Structure 1
Amino acid sequence: MCARRGRCRSVVIPFPKIVAVRAFTARGGGADYHDQGAGHWIDDHIATPMARYPEYRASRQSFGINVLGTLVVELEASDGTVGFAVTTGGEPAAFIVERHLSRFLIGQNPADFERIWDQMYFSTQYYGRKGLVVNAISAVDLALWDLLGKLRQEPVYHLLGGAVRDELQFYATGARPDIARDLGFIGGKLPLHHGPAEGDEGLKKNVALLADMRARCGDDFWLMYDCWMALDVDYATRLAHACHAHGLKWIEEAISPDDYWGYAELKRNVPKGMLVTCGEHEATRWGFRMLLEMDCCDIIQPDVGWCGGITELIKISALADARGKLVVPHGSSVYSYHFVVTRHNSPFAEFLMMHPGPTEVVPMFAPQLLGEPVPHNGRIKVSALDKPGFGVELNPDVPLHRPYSN
């Protein structure tokens, strides 16, 4: 309606506020992708820090890698719109969300994600900072972005500034990079099977497996080793040099994520042209600042469900970009896809081959997510991400348990 002097009055429609916070747990596959049945490649004698104990060497589940299960966080707005996200954390993280973090969410505008993140992080700093607590914060943050996208009827990648390329291209993580090559992926990352406790014989087996896969895949296909924090600097250095003749592109997360000094030494020690990557189990801008300022790696690999969510990944990526480093997030399905497609320093993405073989491309977080896009010929078109929010829904056939309430 216009006033007499020709000025128009604008009507501001209040943005929906958050009215409910719910945290659930789920078992089997999904976001806790280690929670798999027997015979899955992801639990087949993979080197770990626990491999120094023979009784925990053959299976990661034997020492409890899957005890937490999946965390599901739902945020409901006053108009009935629900945003959600999944990560690991299970019941302990559900407690943190319901009994602690919910106070910073109820009655708040979901667009105020910076203030909400700041309050969640600094209110938990005395018992958090990394690990389980930041997993919980990440789930809430991702649910906020999902809710915001749904309220604005835009995909999250639009909210992040829009796509800088027309498609995502992927490398595959799994036990069969030769099959990944046939499926159109740009590279294959193998799990390392033998660590220092298995001596020189184990080292020879690691090199032999890489040599076999190089013969199967040819010279123009990337091959990498995921060492899952299992090694020390000496073993990692020897492994890198022994694998150099077989074209190992990078050595990933070779040592403890807290050993920044060891990573800096390893980066100096590896053969020229080989990359050192890490950061899957790092968290927040401060942890990644250490990796970057100490020149620990060539590529950082934050998991958006563990490092602090999208809100924190924006800051982590900016730190890396200013130093000319690549950001290639660990796994995390649609939650990383929407980010990677908006950043020039994230030129490709990881796809976890969650088929037991793995001989087929299946949704990474199945069965918990519906509508999860998967690569075709190693690529996903940006148009596959065009639904509001992160573009996925919870599978109603997957049982959810709400152990606490706020």
Structure 2
Amino acid sequence: MLAAFEQRSEMKIDRVETFVLKVPLGAERFYSSQAEFPERNSLLVRLTTTDGVVGWGEGGQYGPAEPVQAAVDAVLGPRLLELDTTDPGVVWEHLYASTRDYGQKGTYIEAISAIDIALWDLTGKYLGVSVSTLLGGRFRERVRAYGTGGYYRHTGLDPARDLPALQDEVSRYAESGFSMLKMKVGLLPVREDALRVAAVREALGDDFSLLADANHAYTSSAAIAMGRVLEEARFEFFEEPVPPEDRAGYARVRAAIDVPVAGGEAEYTRYGFRDFITGGCVDIVQPDICVAGGISEVQRIATLASTYNLRTVPHVWGSGVALSAGLHVCATLPLTPYGYSAVPLQNEPVIEFDRTPNPLRDDLLVNPAILEDGHVAVPSGPGLGIEVNMEVVERYRTA
């Protein structure tokens, strides 16, 4: 390994390539409280060293991927080629400092995230070890997964008409092996979404773990009303109850309800999470590795969260690359707080395993993640432990 380390210390990035991927969903489109999803999209970054080693990263899943691609192609990629190091933490600081004046949140941080993930993949491949080993080692070889589903299938819903279809959907998740599910709320009035919540609880029974995600649909008063509904239905967290800018609203909701409040998928870097955490906003911190700053920065965010005895449950919304990065990070998170027994979500991290239609998640990798006994295994090969299927990349590539 020493020889590999010495060789890696001299390696340079020779090519920075980006791939915008889009998959139209057609009749399978769905809705959250904020948006219609007519397609699944993402940006992949491929870094190739002078001796041909390849690392993959991902960003650009939240909105249009093209701005993130432009940030990589026109700004960050050329700077990466100028650096004499490929050490992820060092590169992160260089790239962030060079764009700080105009890129503290949003597009540039997503672009840095994609590059950072690819650099961790490269480093692991050079040293012949997994990313989770590089991060300090694994506490677990597999991670309990919660399914994300229960979206709205169209607007103008008649809850009474659509409840049977919702119950059929969530029952299929349970039959496939999930014991934990996150559903959507926030598109409808609270009283109508309450019917959906009750229907899901009825379909899955009292022992099934349920979570809710409003995608910041509410004022604090409406979120508290929805929180009361979730309390009665024994939900285990309430994600993004209010807009991310409304720190006081988050704190008000958290103080008023007994359901743990989660959030952070729309926050960026340790600096944003510092204010989010010290503002008393959440019980569960949810940085997205492809958005918040990559693996390097999510390590720092998780450490910061642990000093406040808060749980970290990374948000995952992307391709198989994003899911693999999330699994490696989850593998390295200790129990928070420590206990003699690991209890999923209570003190042990879980992984989001989105169940909406997405060939980029299911087909992009040669060996995609699968659910077994309610868990997903952490990839074991060097780096991220994945192999990207270039035929699938070219099939869905638009730029």
Bucket of the pairwise TM-score, normalised by the shorter protein? 0.7 to 0.9
Tell me the residue number matched to 1:3. Answer: none
Higher helix residue share: 2
Instruction: Provide the TM-score with structure 1 as the length reference.
Output: 0.81
Which sections of structure 2, spanning at least 5 residues, go unmatched?
A: 151-168, 317-321, 337-347
Paired residue for 2:212, among 225, 229, 233? Answer: 225
Matched, 1:44 2:40: no
Where structure 1 has 5 or more consecutive residues not aligned to the other structure, the ranges are: 1-10, 30-35, 51-58, 196-201, 357-362
Alpha-carbon separation, structure 2, partners of 1:111 and 1:27: 26
**2:372 pairs with 1:376:** yes
Aligned to 1:83: 55
Distance of 2:287 and 2:8 partners within structure 1: 35
CA gap 1:241/1:225 in 2 versus in 1, 3 angstroms: same
Residues 21 and 73 of structure 1 are in contact (CA less than 8 Å); yes or no, is this contact kept in structure 2? Answer: no
What corresponds to 1:134 in structure 2? 109
Query: Which residue of the partner structure matches residue 351 of structure 2?
Result: 349
User: For each residue in 1:252-302, what CA deviation from the matched residue of structure 2 results, as whole angstroms up to 9, or x when unmatched?
Assistant: 1111111111111110111x3x11100011110011111111110110111
5 Å-filtered alignment, 1:4-403, equals: 13=7, 15-29=9-23, 36-40=24-28, 43-48=29-34, 59-61=36-38, 69-88=41-60, 90-106=65-81, 108=83, 111-175=86-150, 176-192=169-185, 194-195=187-188, 202-270=189-257, 272=258, 274-331=259-316, 332-344=322-334, 345=336, 347-355=349-357, 365-382=361-378, 385-397=379-391, 398-399=393-394
Contact 1:171/1:348 (CA < 8 Å) preserved in 2?
yes
Q: Deviations over 1:215-257 (max 9, x none)?
A: 1111111112111122111111111113322112221111111
SS, match of residue 233 in structure 2: coil
The more displaced of 279-288 and 97-106 is 97-106
Give the Cα separation in 2 of the matches to 1:166 and 1:401: 33
Find the aligned partners of 1:401 and 1:95 in 2 and give their Cα distance.
15
Bigger-Rg structure (1/2): 1
Tell me if the contact between 1:104 and 1:116 (Cα under 8 Å) persists in the aligned partners: no
The share of aligned pairs that are identical, in percent, is 29
| Displacement of 1:60 | 4.6
- 1:122-154 superposed Cα distances (whole Å, 9 cap, x missing partner): 211122111111110000000000111111111
* Displacement after TM superposition at 1:381 (Å): 3.4
Cα distance change, pair 347–135 in 1 and its aligned pair in 2 (3 A): same
Distance change in 2, residues 1:260/1:23 (3 Å): farther
Superposed CA RMSD in Å reads 2.3
Residues 181 and 210, structure 2, Cα contact 8 Å, conserved in 1: yes
Distance apart, 1:320 and its partner CA: 0.5
The letter of the residue matching 1:284 is: T
CA-CA distance at 1:109 after TM superposition: 5.4
Supply the distance in 1 between the matched residues of 2:239 and 2:6 (Cα, whole angstroms).
Answer: 51
Residue type of the partner of 1:189?
A: K
CA contact (8 A) 1:16 1:77 kept: no
Once residues 39 and 251 of structure 1 are traced to their aligned partners in structure 2, the CA distance between those partners, rounded to angstroms, is: 29
Q: What is the deviation of 1:354?
A: 3.0
Residue type matched to 1:26 in 2?
A: V
- Residues in 1 aligned to 2:229 and 2:362: alpha-carbon distance in whole angstroms: 37
